[in-house]
Copies of this chain bind each other. A is one copy, B any other.
């Protein structure tokens, strides 16, 4: 497997476009991703009970078909808390895509990100569909990735080629936003494409595995938005045979998909609001994988750990305290901690190194914390950001 250029259009048969439809000024605000032929689709949506209209609509669509031809997404307005009118706006958007691209009405998914409680400016949206459809191309991946940015400071895309497969196939993707973003600029959106050949049920298995170890293992501010959506399309245009579950080929596909998802997930964290450091938390030898995940999340969500890392403070007491209140099996005397490879806490609370030495460990922009609980075989890797003044500024001072 090798990393290649091309993002969401790296795989054969996919085109994309990003255009300005007038919601925002001076930047792309409307994206389209299309497959030459209807593609097997798998998707995961927010668990927030206040689900936005496009989420409700897409779920309905996927009860009608498991094959999708196009996805459109706008930024600026989330179309959340908009009731029946919001749902109708989502339907009208999809109908316009269907008409314009000459694809079946149920084979279109729509996504939105932006302010909660406002209605979509439908004139702009419908114009966006026309403009984007006219510009669809293999080169449109970056324009599309830029069109879904909100407070993101960088567009986020990646692609890989699995060259060991015969024939080789590609998996690419683009993403925006980590956790809840700028005031009401909710939403993580992730669009993934592949020209590998998988049936929807198989694709769904692969997506759930990959999301579990990537997008479900990151947090910036622990909010779950009303619009979170991950969509994976597989059109089989690499020309290869169908990949079936429980085969080495399926495992190879899953590994490549996990790589793509983990890299996108880390990009999301690193570009989180006010993030200055990516924090990777590895929990080892927990009583179970579930305990490891719970413990990692407690450390990741601790304001005190996040501010300490922001300040370059090797404050192991905050890490062990977070593990202590996580509600997992823990024998405090057995816990050992490493930061960026150096031991900072050994068994029975022995503390090697001086504070000055430890502070030097935190001068990097990626911080790897390894907590070994010394109990069982459970493990987990989780990513989070530090907590900075910039985060507070972005979220307190920006006025909706």
Contacts and interface: CB of A to CB of B under 8 A. Distances in A.
A330 B183 contact: no
Contact of A307 (B316, B355, B396): B396
Interface in A320-356: 320-325, 330, 332-333, 348-349, 351, 355
A168 interface: no
Copies in the complex: 2
Contacts of A117: 316-317, 349, 351
A310 B392 contact: yes
A321 B47 CA distance: 11
Given A50-B321, A223-B321, A226-B321, A395 B81 contact: no
A46 B327 CA distance: 12
A400 interface: yes
Contact of A398 (B46, B83, B311): B311
Nearest to A302: B223
A294 interface: no
Nearest to A332: B50
Contact of A395 (B304, B317, B330, B332): B304
B80 A317 contact: yes
B303 A395 contact: yes
Contact of A397 (B46, B180, B183, B311): B311
Interface string A178-200: 00100110100000000000000
A348 B116 contact: no
Contacts of A223: 302-304, 318, 321-322, 325
A98 interface: no
A82 interface: yes
Given A81-B349, A226-B321, 6 more contacts: A180-B321, A226-B317, A311-B395, A313-B399, A317-B400, A388-B396
21 contacts: A49-B324, A50-B321, A50-B323, A51-B324, A81-B320, A81-B349, A116-B320, A117-B317, A117-B351, A180-B304, A183-B304, A183-B315, A186-B317, A224-B324, A226-B317, A307-B395, A308-B395, A311-B396, A311-B399, A313-B399, A387-B392
4 tightest A-B CB contacts, nearest first: A116-B317, A311-B396, A50-B324, A307-B395
